[in-house]
């Protein structure tokens, strides 16, 4: 076998007949010889997925320092340590390292997806080698092997089926389709057929739910469909979250602003005749003071607090920035099965006696349609009541149980004595049951059109009547009507015979039956998901449904959920139709579609990228292997905790512990709150730092010695940390879920925050300078310049600190009045203000400490001025907010 054979041939295996595939794979129905298998495993390698590249713990730690803001802080620490105060440098380094450690801890499992894929392989497989069936480890399979499948097996490699007997395989992990696929040997003509339509193929890691079969191994390891997904996942680039982009932009803005301020101050000082070294140190001190060194840690803590709140509400965050990203989401691309729906087939409609009824209406075991669906059924009921079997059949039994039927007792009373198993060609199954009167009941179920061909009579309210053409057409019309509602329809029939049938075959049992009725089943939408879709749309978020199901099923569920309007005729596209559209055209047309049916993993990634190209922030939910690449490509990937594969969880930024779509809405609200609270913290920190910078800058220009480095350091330490963190605990504003998403271009300075930082920083600096001026011109110790200066410095120090604490109340909302938001709703915030205020005051009030900080005791008049001036920032900002609201209302 040459290298060319390792590559997939141009003609797919599902379009070739059995002989052509056997010839191409150089094998036979007797299987490979052991010698040939050894050659091939040496050539192809073991049947397992590549582990992929993983980052070491050290590399993950170093990655935390790539953030621009962190780099600025590190430079500031070095400069401060060389030219300024070593304590500043130590504090900055401690903050940066702590931030990196927290980041590594939270993201330690970021690269588990490939490993999870690799570990999903089936441990053993039955293989025909040297003409004999043997059991081998699945990693020993090679192309050309003949594999035997039976119910309960995990398919160990990609197979072209060559023999089947009622074979059904559940492929939800690859296709998203909730119903097992009936496998057929029919050769397909469409070379572009999607995975879900390749009925003569079996795929690695799918589950055999019914029947048996044999197949030729045509793909192993990374050459399988799962392997292609793993390859896509490994090559997918990590996207920068909006939060990371915002922090990088903020770092750049601050760097430019700080450098400009430092240079201007240095030049002005030199022009005023100051020593160059003195001005250099002063400029550096001012620059370091302007940097909010606690910001990265505060952001990390706010995010961590957000993750804790979300965890209590069943949303588990694996990567810290994901908390905020979901809050800025424009598009939620959601898998249908198990996320928007129950992932559980359910009887929704019943048709018998010429009438249709919903599943809530009464029905009992005396009704032939219910009796037939219970008897012609292979579901097993375990000791704990769990139903084991095909999802369609277990749905029928669950329906009977819900109606109070004792299924076990019924089968004991009229036991099965013979059967004709389901066959995908005739699409029927029948069972024979011995009745108490000695007669025998034949129960049958199957495809409506096929079963109807075998019926000559119909049961109407217990009366057996001939089945005429008009009645047959009415039944077929009802079947069509139910099918257009995306319901999976099954018909039931029966007949009673005096003696045990001797011909146990389709010809012997499935003739001259009495038609009993039909059922319509569906994997129903979650009720809470319907509400979640509505709330998401109110919040300006567009839900997009992506599924492997058929177009009609997808469209019907989307309309029931509210993703599509009831009368909407468009908005749905299939994977095959998507293949006909170029990437460029799709980027312009992506807004036209809300539902994607019969899609492959490549389609999902295309959809996410097209929305991202349109400037939207995209979230992707999913639970299957097929979702992993798109989960990783999306701005935020949301995995399912219960039904989700380890692959999807490993590729996700966040996992829903309850698999509940409505939890996403909770997470969106929490994410919006987190961004808003980070924005508040930034507004608080930068306005405070601007106040400090303006105070020092103007004081230097005026020749005032207003604050020493230790005062700035203590104010930053006491007033920055606790209030800023406590702002992260602010409750969400009442209208947060009525606002549209921020958009990709939004920054921490959007929505009036930048102008608020500027005018509030000016207010803080101006009030502090006013208090210093007043203290120097209205001294308590007249004639003693040293005491006058000490009092003025102390009053300026306390005023600047208290101003920041009182100002923290202002930033609870950019525009809303503090009286609307509430003074004391956030208990942790109130405690933080009290603690910070006490730490600030203790420096002045405690003997010994005031000497260390070079401050003096103040009398009552001075304290009243300090408190009044500090508190004044609240009413001043309230008045300005009134003006802002009036301007915006007019606008």
- Helix pair 661-702, 242-271: axis angle to 10 deg: 0
Map 225-275 to HEC letters: HHHHHHHHHHHCCCCCCHHHHHHHHHHHHHHHHHHHHHHHHHHHHHHCCCC
CB-facing half-sphere around the CA of 357: CA atoms within 13 A: 11
Closest C-alpha to 607, from 597, 551, 20: 597
Q: Give, for 210, the enclosing helix (H) or strand (E).
A: strand 207-219
DSSP code, position 704? -
Residue 386 backbone dihedrals phi, psi, to 5 degrees: -70, 135
Cα-Cα-Cα-Cα dihedral sign, residues 625, 629, 631, 632? positive
Which residues have a Cβ under 8 Å from the Cβ of 431 and sit 6 or more positions away? 375, 376, 377, 416, 418, 419, 420, 442, 443, 444
Which residues have a Cβ under 8 Å from the Cβ of 130 and sit 6 or more positions away? 30, 31, 32, 33, 34
Residue 636's DSSP bridge partners are: 619
615 by Cβ neighbours in 10 Å (0-12 / 13-18 / 19+) ranks as exposed
d(CA 686, CA 679): 10
Residue with tokens 């105070």: 695
Catalytic residue among 335, 378, 627, 659: 335
d(CA 417, CA 395): 23
Q: Give the tokens for residue 554.
A: 């997808």
How far is the CA of 808 from the CAs of 624, 820, 844, in angstroms?
46, 15, 22
Q: Detail the DSSP E strand segments found in 523-634.
A: 542-546, 572-574, 595-597, 618-622
Residue with tokens 């019914």: 210
825 by Cβ neighbours in 10 Å (0-12 / 13-18 / 19+) ranks as exposed
Residue with tokens 């879900």: 196
130 counts as catalytic: no
Q: Give the tokens for residue 730.
A: 């602010």
d(CA 535, CA 274): 62
Q: What percentage of the chain's residues is helix, strand, coil (to nearest 5)?
A: 55, 15, 30
Are 522 and 486 contacting, i.e. CB atoms less than 8 angstroms apart?
yes
Q: How distant is the alpha carbon of residue 249 from its chain centre? A: 26
Which residues have a Cβ under 8 Å from the Cβ of 472 and sit 6 or more positions away? 452
Closest C-alpha to 479, from 451, 444, 454, 512: 451
Q: Give the tokens for residue 865.
A: 């001025």
Q: Is 519 helix (H, G, I), strand (E, B) or coil?
A: strand
Cα-Cα-Cα-Cα dihedral sign, residues 30, 181, 15, 156? negative
Phi-psi domain of 460 (left: phi exceeds 0; alpha: psi -120 through 50; beta: other)? beta
- By annotation, the residues acting in catalysis are 335
């Amino acid at each position: 076998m040459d290298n060319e054979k390792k590559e997939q041939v141009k003609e797919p295996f599902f379009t070739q007949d059995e002989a052509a595939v056997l010839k191409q794979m150089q094998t036979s129905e007797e299987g490979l010889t052991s010698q040939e298998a050894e050659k091939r495993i040496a050539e192809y390698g073991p049947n397992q997925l590549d582990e992929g590249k993983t980052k070491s713990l050290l590399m993950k730690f170093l990655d935390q320092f790539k953030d621009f803001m962190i780099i600025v802080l590190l430079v500031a620490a070095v400069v401060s340590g060389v030219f300024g105060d070593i304590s500043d440098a130590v504090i900055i380094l401690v903050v940066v390292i702590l931030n990196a450690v927290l980041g590594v801890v939270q993201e330690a499992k970021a690269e588990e997806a490939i490993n999870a894929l690799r570990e999903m392989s089936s441990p053993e497989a039955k293989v025909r080698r040297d003409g004999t069936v043997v059991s081998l480890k699945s990693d020993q399979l090679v192309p050309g092997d003949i594999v035997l499948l039976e119910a309960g097996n995990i398919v160990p490699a990609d197979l072209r089926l060559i023999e089947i007997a009622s074979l059904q395989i559940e492929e939800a992990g690859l296709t998203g389709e909730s119903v097992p696929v009936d496998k057929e040997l029919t050769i397909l003509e469409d070379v572009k057929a999607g995975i879900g339509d390749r009925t003569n193929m079996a795929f690695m890691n799918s589950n055999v739910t019914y029947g048996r079969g044999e197949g030729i191994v045509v793909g192993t390891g990374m050459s399988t469909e799962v392997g292609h997904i793993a390859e896509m996942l490994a090559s997918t680039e990590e996207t920068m979250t909006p939060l990371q982009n915002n922090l990088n932009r903020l770092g750049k803005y601050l760097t430019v602003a700080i450098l400009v301020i430092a240079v201007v101050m240095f030049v002005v000082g030199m022009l005023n005749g100051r020593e160059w070294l003195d001005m250099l140190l002063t400029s550096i001190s001012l620059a370091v003071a302007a940097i909010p060194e606690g910001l990265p840690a505060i952001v990390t803590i706010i995010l961590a607090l957000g993750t804790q709140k979300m965890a209590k509400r069943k949303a588990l965050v694996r990567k810290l920035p994901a908390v905020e990203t979901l809050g800025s989401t424009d598009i939620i691309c959601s898998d249908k099965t198990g996320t928007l729906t129950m992932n559980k087939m359910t009887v929704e409609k019943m048709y018998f006696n010429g009438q249709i009824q919903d599943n809530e209406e009464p029905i009992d075991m005396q009704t032939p349609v219910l009796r037939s669906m219970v008897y012609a059924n292979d579901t097993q009921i375990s000791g704990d009541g769990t139903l084991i079997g095909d999802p369609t059949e277990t749905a029928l039994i669950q329906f009977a149980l819900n109606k109070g039927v004792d299924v076990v007792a019924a089968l004991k009373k009229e036991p099965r004595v013979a059967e004709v198993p389901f066959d995908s060609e005739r699409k029927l199954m029948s069972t024979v049951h011995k009745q108490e009167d000695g007669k025998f009941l034949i129960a049958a179920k199957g495809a409506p059109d096929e079963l109807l061909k075998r019926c000559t009579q119909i049961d109407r309210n217990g009366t057996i009547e001939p089945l005429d053409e008009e009645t047959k057409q009415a039944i077929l019309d009802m079947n069509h009507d139910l099918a257009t509602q995306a319901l999976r329809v099954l018909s039931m029939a029966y007949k009673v015979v005096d003696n045990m049938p001797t011909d146990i075959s389709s010809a012997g049992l499935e003739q001259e039956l009495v038609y009993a009725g039909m059922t319509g089943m569906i994997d129903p939408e979650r009720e809470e998901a319907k509400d979640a879709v509505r709330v998401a749309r109110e919040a300006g978020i567009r839900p997009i449904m992506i599924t492997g199901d058929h177009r009609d099923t997808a469209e019907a569920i989307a309309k029931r959920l509210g993703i599509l309007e009831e009368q909407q005729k468009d908005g749905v596209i299939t994977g095959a139709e998507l293949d006909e559209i170029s990437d460029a055209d799709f980027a312009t047309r992506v807004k036209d579609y809300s539902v994607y049916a019969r899609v492959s993993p490549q389609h999902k990634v295309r959809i996410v990228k097209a929305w991202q190209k349109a400037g939207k922030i995209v979230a992707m939910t999913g639970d299957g292997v097929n979702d992993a690449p798109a989960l990783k490509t999306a701005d935020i990937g949301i995995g399912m905790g219960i039904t989700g594969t380890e692959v999807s969880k490993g590729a996700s930024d966040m996992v829903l512990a309850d698999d509940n779509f409505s939890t996403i809405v909770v997470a969106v609200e929490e994410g919006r709150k987190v961004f808003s609270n980070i924005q508040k913290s930034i507004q608080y920190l930068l306005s405070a730092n601007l106040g400090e910078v303006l105070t020092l800058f103007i004081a230097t220009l005026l020749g005032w010695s207003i604050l020493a480095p230790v005062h700035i350091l203590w104010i930053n330490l006491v007033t920055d940390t606790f209030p800023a963190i406590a702002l992260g605990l602010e409750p969400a504003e009442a209208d947060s879920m009525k606002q549209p998403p921020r958009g990709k271009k939004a920054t921490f300075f959007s929505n009036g925050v930048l102008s608020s930082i500027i005018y509030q920083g000016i207010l803080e600096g101006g009030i502090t300078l006013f208090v210093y001026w007043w203290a120097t011109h209205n001294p308590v110790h007249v004639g003693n310049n040293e005491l006058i200066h000490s009092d003025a410095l102390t009053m300026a120090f306390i005023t600047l600190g208290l101003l920041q604490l009182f100002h923290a109340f202002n930033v609870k909302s950019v525009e809303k009045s503090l009286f609307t938001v509430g003074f004391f709703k956030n208990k942790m915030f109130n405690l933080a203000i009290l603690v910070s205020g006490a730490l600030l005051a203790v420096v002045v009030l405690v003997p010994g400490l005031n000497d260390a900080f070079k401050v003096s005791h103040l009398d009552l008049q001075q304290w009243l001025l300090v408190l009044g001036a500090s508190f004044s920032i609240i009413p001043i900002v309230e008045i300005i907010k009134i003006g802002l609201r009036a301007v915006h209302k007019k606008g």
